[in-house]
Structure 1
């Protein structure tokens, strides 16, 4: 866990780190960090370990909602940090309302997971759950924020409270040489399915395989395979269109093998939360 010793352009890196560590002063008995393997939670886990050592925990959900490469990334990050890593098997599909895939699906899932995390928190005799939602997330559709508010006795949001945005957490991750600092932003596989279309483990597994296949062809870039019935819509950055078209025959064959009848490339390119664009907040 070695810092690079250089300043971030436009930011006082030491001031940002100190503000986050000072934020944790109130939690005398240590903290728990939900670790997805992404940049935001990885930085929090690293700082929690720096602050509390053996009184810190990272918890990752091994779920059918999680892209497999991110589960492996969380293990890699936890090992790099040295933090005790708890992996919890979860089954969100046991929640009937969740499988209906309503527009507040994220709230239903977050509430379920926070309840599981609360049990671990109390068992481990720690003080707080440090959630990695950033200040930037307040400007987009995030129904899961309601679950944070309802669980605020235990769930704390340092990035929101300190107004730390996603671009800063990414620079912090690079500064600390976190192994996944250059990973593109990602989210749970349920976000690939159009709202009100039933969620099933089989659908998400196919999507995960499809995205991983493209990732192996074009590299570690933002990739989404969005499902609309038996049609899939591939989202990649505009500058990756050439790569997709170069491998179009391989992709077509693989996707047909997975059972996708119609395969399209979204001309607008990658857009985080593209199913949320027309949702009334």
Structure 2
């Protein structure tokens, strides 16, 4: 299993932030960001290559000013697919500015994705559970 040293010691996120600030660490006020492995569906192998692709994609998109974004990494028969989940503001912006989406898609193709799509349902915490739960209920 995966160990969580801070949790095992009973240290909370608030305590970590307070200690980080006291030590003058630049990450003290950094927004929470779930592990990039959460962008890969259950049952799929997590590799350093996939993590690096996801990280590069999200960093590029954030550099364009889009804040709420998750790059969901899927393996399909024709290559890696980047499914972009965004907040409602970002979704409207990407739909209103096709050139912005094209800029993102071009960069993600350069990173190594074979396909890039925008999830019109937007960002949903735990969205990778959805297909897993549907299969489990059958």
| TM-score over 0.5 (shorter chain) | yes
Asked if residue 82 in structure 1 is aligned to residue 23 in structure 2, the reply is yes
2: CA distance, partners of 1:186 / 1:232? 18
**Deviation per CA, 1:212-247, whole angstroms, max 9, x where unpaired?**
11111124x221100111111001112211333431
Change in CA separation of 1:194 and 1:255 when aligned onto 2, cut-off 3 Å: same
**Correspondence 1:225 to 2:76:** no
Partner Cα separation in structure 2 for residue 208 and residue 244 of structure 1: 20
1:267 and 1:196 mapped to 2: Cα distance?
Answer: 24
Q: Which position in structure 1 is the counterpart of 2:15?
A: 44
Separation (CA, whole Å) in 2 of partners of 1:179 and 1:204: 24
Q: Structure 1 residue 249: deviation in Å?
A: 1.7
- Distance (Å, rounded) in 1 between the aligned partners of 2:106 and 2:91: 18
Give the corresponding residue for 1:106.
none
Match of 1:201 among 48, 56, 81: 48
Distance 2:69 2:62 in 1: 7
The root-mean-square deviation of aligned C-alpha atoms, in Å, is 2.4
- 2:68, 2:90 within 8 Å by CA — same for their partners in 1? no
1:240 aligns with 2:90: yes
The correspondence for 1:271, drawn from 120, 124, 130, is 124
Aligned residue pair count: 116
Distance 1:222 1:248 in 2: 15
Indicate conservation of the 8 Å contact 1:238/1:268, yes or no.
no
Give SS of 2:33's match: coil
Query: Which of residues 113, 116, 134 is equivalent to 1:260?
Result: 113
- Runs of 4+ in structure 1 deviating by more than 4 angstroms, as ranges, are none
Higher-Rg member (1/2): 1
Q: How far apart are residue 253 of structure 1 and its match?
A: 1.1
> What is the CA deviation profile of residues 191-225 of structure 1, one whole-angstrom value per residue up to 9, with x for unaligned ones?
11111121110111010000011111124x22110
Change (3 A) 1:46 1:228: closer
Q: Is contact 1:33–1:44 with CA below 8 Å preserved after alignment?
A: no
Contact 1:225 1:233 in 2 (8 A): yes
